[in-house]
Amino acid sequence: MLRPPVRLPPVLRRAASTAGPGRRLLLSTPIFYANGPPHIGHLYSALLADALHRHRGLRGAGPGRLSTGTDEHGLKIQQAAVAAGTSPPELCARISALFHRAFTQAAISFTDFIRTSEPRHCQAVCHFWAALQEHGALYKGTYEGWYCTAEEGFLPESQLVERVDAQGRPCKVSAESGHEVHWTKEENYMFKLSAFQDPLLKWLRDNPRAISPDPFYQRVLCWLGEDLPDLSVSRERSRLQWGIPVPSDSTQTIYVWVDALVNYLSVLGYPETHGEWWPAAHHVVGKDILKFHAVYWPALLMAAGLSPPERILVHSHWTVRGQKMSKSLGNVIDPFACNERYTVDGFRYFLLRQGVPDRDCDYYDEKVVKVVNSELADALGGLLNRSTAPGINPSNTYPCFSETCFPKVVDYREAEALGRAAAEDYEFVVSVASLPLQVASYFEDFQIYKALECISLCVRQTNGFFQRHRPWKLDRKDPAEKLWLDTIIHVTLECLRVYGTLLQPVIPHTADKLLSRLAVEPGEREISSLTFLPRYNGKPCPFEGRQLGPDTGILFHRLESSRQHQIENKRL
């Protein structure tokens, strides 16, 4: 097979506007394949990207965009439409609408929902293809190998295992997914992926944070240490009609993954306005599509004269009671039913609190109920209820802080002799004071679950502080007791204000309810301006003496436990 030499672009074009403070950033989810309705794995990808996008906005880090959407071309769509007795456009319109509704219901703050059947995307793909041709990255040749329709790609023999199909006949399947493969031989356009092995290795070694978490970075390095064969990037149109035709060759259809990956440029207005944003892009992707995003996509971008994305943030999968989600097992979990059962914020919190990107996580009803009731309803909601109760805070205000009762000290181990606060109270105040930076660091490191773990620990410490000093037993008529009682409530409300502010990216509705109860105005909710307990440091507190917001009742209602999980009866 003849392979003309590739002409690597001399300089990868970088957008000047992406550097420095206040820079732009695109956060993206994968675009989801429109051959079936959404499940909680899709929702998890979207929630991770949404939480990062919201947190960045609250930090005032600069203009940001969040893109998501549906991948609507390919053989799987073509076959699914036939099976459903409909046309590919009708199937895609219906499934895409389900994803849009699921993400809207889950409060995903996307700024762009792209469909690959849109004209703007098709135009971008054709321009991208022309750029690849212009740089000599494509050639036509005969390709044969084991093709997996379910994964829309050719697989090497090393990734296959022998199995027996439903009719008892021997067959080959993907070792990772179990999907059947078929030997295919056809004339296609090939992408000179092999020419980009060294540039890809250099890119990764120069940018160790380009792929997170680290186990996935190491996995990609291992792939790049092996042979990197050229990639078939088109299919015969006689086999695949539902896709974008290769420009100037009506016999070929552009490979669905090349088509789909260009969506990250389409949403930025490629080829006209993308330079204002690209390559300041962070892609949130599942581990099953890592190779497409961390090997093929950067290589394609380099070949087209563009830089790879800044970061690829990879997450693992959700299992259901220890089993992989599968239509054949009937255990695919419907996000609409989950939002109804646990509330939108409750389910958002569970997935982000329990989801650990570098390992698979397990879902079952009892686990959701336990986590959400314990941490949202009881710990956080109970703390707000107790500290704003009329018996404790009859004036319904943000009371004054007494520096006499809670003096600032150099060594908190000597604090007991100076005021009413104990050494452990100082330890807990130090923990809360450091929380915003801790949370920001964990978000930056794509460890949202650790950020929520830290917040949950501080909420428990605040409950301990409140319980330890029993404000309900203090006599408000005694001036000295009143000073200490008001200080306990002041410290507790300050903690709640911090937690409400930091939880906005994760549970936006509940956080808004909490902050509104504390009379924190919309302009006072940015993380960038968050200060904790300024009176302890001798500075004025703008909330001190302020009337609290209206009591809207229980912050978060406890979920009913159920032995027979209601969601499992509403599976797809």
pLDDT in tens, 100-144: 999 999 999 999 999 999 999 999 999 999 999 999 999 998 877
Give residue 18's pLDDT band: very low, low, confident or very high (50, 70, 90). very low
Give residue 566's pLDDT band: very low, low, confident or very high (50, 70, 90). low
d(CA 108, CA 94) in angstroms, rounded, equals: 20
Q: Which residues contact 382 (CB under 8 A, 6 or more apart)?
A: 463
Fold topology of 25-137+256-362:
Rossmann fold (3.40.50)
Q: Which DSSP letter does residue 13 get?
A: B
Q: Is residue 318 helix, strand or coil? A: strand
In this prediction, residues 427-446 reach a mean pLDDT of 97
Q: Which residues contact 251 (CB under 8 A, 6 or more apart)?
A: 236, 237, 238
Confidence check: pLDDT of 201 > 90: yes
CA 521 centroid distance within chain: 27
Confidence check: pLDDT of 569 > 80: no
d(CA 252, CA 189) in angstroms, rounded, equals: 8
| Alpha helices by DSSP H, 59-196 | 75-83, 88-105, 119-134
pLDDT in tens, 270-328: 999 999 999 999 999 999 999 999 999 999 999 999 999 999 999 999 999 999 988 87
Residue of 242 and 17 predicted with greater confidence:
242
Distances (CA, A) of 36 to 129, 147, 158, 286, 301: 28, 21, 30, 17, 29
In this prediction, residues 30-53 reach a mean pLDDT of 97
Q: Which residues contact 86 (CB under 8 A, 6 or more apart)?
A: none
Bridging pattern class, strands 211-212 and 311-315: parallel
Confidence check: pLDDT of 230 > 80: yes
Confidence check: pLDDT of 558 > 70: yes
Give residue 208's pLDDT band: very low, low, confident or very high (50, 70, 90). very high
Confidence check: pLDDT of 2 > 60: no
Confidence check: pLDDT of 564 > 70: no
Tokens 């295992």 belong to residue = 161
When the pLDDT of each residue in the chain is averaged and rounded to a whole number, the result is: 92
d(CA 317, CA 324) in angstroms, rounded, equals: 8
Please state which CATH class domain 365-547 belongs to: mainly alpha
Residue of 151 and 511 predicted with greater confidence:
511
What is the pLDDT, as a whole number, of residue 329?
A: 85
Confidence check: pLDDT of 67 > 50: yes
d(CA 488, CA 468) in angstroms, rounded, equals: 10
Give residue 179's pLDDT band: very low, low, confident or very high (50, 70, 90). confident
What is the pLDDT, as a whole number, of residue 57?
A: 96
pLDDT in tens, 469-478: 999 999 999 9
CA 153 centroid distance within chain: 26
Residue of 18 and 324 predicted with greater confidence:
324
In this prediction, residues 211-238 reach a mean pLDDT of 95
Q: Could you tell me the two tokens for 550?
A: 């209206």
DSSP string spanning 149-176?
TTTTEEE-GGGEEEEE-TTS-EEEEETT
Angle at 286 between CA 176 and CA 308, to 5 degrees: 110
In this prediction, residues 68-73 reach a mean pLDDT of 98
pLDDT in tens, 91-105: 999 999 999 999 999
Say how many C-beta atoms besides its own lie within 10 A of residue 119's C-beta.
Answer: 7
What is the pLDDT, as a whole number, of residue 319?
A: 95
What is the pLDDT, as a whole number, of residue 17?
A: 38
Confidence check: pLDDT of 348 > 90: yes
Confidence check: pLDDT of 194 > 90: yes
Q: Could you tell me the two tokens for 73?
A: 């071309």
In this prediction, residues 60-70 reach a mean pLDDT of 96
Give residue 409's pLDDT band: very low, low, confident or very high (50, 70, 90). confident
Percentage of the residues of the chain whose pLDDT score is greater than 70: 93
Starting at the edge strand found earlier in the chain, the sheet holding 231-232 runs 153-155, 138-148, 182-191, 231-232
In this prediction, residues 376-392 reach a mean pLDDT of 97
In this prediction, residues 224-238 reach a mean pLDDT of 93
Where do the domains of the chain lie?
25-137+256-362, 365-547
